[in-house]
Structure 1
């Protein structure tokens, strides 16, 4: 494993163990077995490092959206969307520690927002991609034409985020896959 990967792994571990404020570059570098100077050769700042944790260590929404897009018009649309919903829920559950910490640190949040804007990325993009996929399924006649695809995508992703948030406070919410299937059925019922 290379130095960059060790640093990302150490950052993820530090975030989950100590929270964002406790995940100092000194602690992360020590855990990764490198100097802070070497950490900064790989990452310009904590924002970039935390983004790498989100993009490279969490269940990836990108590949899940790619699979969903590839499967437009094929297979069972509800099953395809349920599989995606389960992945989105898993992503939000694992990302909660990073997101909560960033939201609770205004200077870090400002730097994170700036970095996302400069890179042309952000949490709105999976919602937009999902809406495009829902429109394609509508065009294929597999989802009711009257459903607002943008609203349905926002509701589905928002429900995943909300359930992940609830899971931080409640021990057991029930079977995630069954929940995902119910959410999908409610949104795309024909």
Structure 2
């Protein structure tokens, strides 16, 4: 419910969006239940009506974000043959970082209970890095069939390199630190220098 007693639709998504704005503005230290609900324009107790506690909220925020990333990555294979391999792979790689990725990761790492819940959900099949890695590999294999990626390339290894690097950058970056995106772009460029954006004769 809103402060005036009017039902709010999409409460969880609204709270997640508000949390990302708080994180981008104030960093992990500024994220509290009150800060999130104030940012969302909701009653102060609303967060606890939908989540067990702040750790549960943080865990669900991370899982929600990875679910969105996995859904986006799942569309990659259908885009084989469009634009260039480097452009498509760069977009997929940068999506893993996102605008608030480092801040969300830092927040989760600062809350061991939330981290444990996230890992538990992934172990039970919630979409995470493995699903994204599988979609990127499938995309590269689709491009390989079109002749835009050499047949000698190990697509699974390339996908692992992209996802592992993004994970490393998320774990080692910090909200106010250097932007890790340029390093990820450089990696993709290095990995795709041997690709051929036209059919192999």
TM-score (norm 1): 0.72
The aligned counterpart of 1:134 is: 140
Structure 1 counterpart of 2:5? none
For 1:173 and 1:75, the matched residues in 2 are separated by 23
Query: Matched residues in 2 for 1:2 and 1:186: separation?
Result: 47
**SS of equivalent to 2:127:** coil
The residue number in structure 2 matching 1:40 is: 48
Q: Which has the higher helix share?
A: 1
Kindly report which structure 2 residues correspond to 1:133-152, keeping only aligned pairs within 5 A, or say none. 133-152=139-158
Q: Structure 2 matches for 1:7-86, cutoff 5 A? A: 7-44=15-52, 45-46=56-57, 47-52=59-64, 55=67, 60=69, 62-66=71-75, 68-72=76-80, 74-75=81-82, 79-86=84-91
Size of the alignment, in residue pairs? 182
Instruction: Give distance in 1, aligned partners of 2:21 and 2:189.
Output: 33
Return 5+ residue gaps in structure 1 as ranges: none
Where does structure 2 lack aligned partners over 5 or more consecutive residues?
1-7
- CA 1:112–1:36: 2 relative to 1, 3 Å: farther
Name the counterpart of 2:4. Answer: none
What is the CA RMSD across the aligned residues, in angstroms?
A: 3.4
* More displaced 10-residue stretch of structure 1: 159-168 or 83-92: 159-168
Write the distance in 2 (CA, Å) between the matches of 1:172 and 1:112: 23
Deviations 1:24-58 (A, max 9, x none): 222212222223432233345211134335555xx
SS in 1 for 2:42: coil
> What residue is the counterpart of 2:124 in the other structure?
118
Cα pair 2:18 2:37 within 8 Å, conserved = yes
- Given the alignment of the two structures, is residue 153 of structure 1 paired with residue 153 of structure 2, yes or no? no
Q: Determine if contact 2:133/2:160 at 8 Å carries over to the other structure.
A: yes
User: Aligned partners of 1:121 and 1:36: how far apart in 2?
Assistant: 30
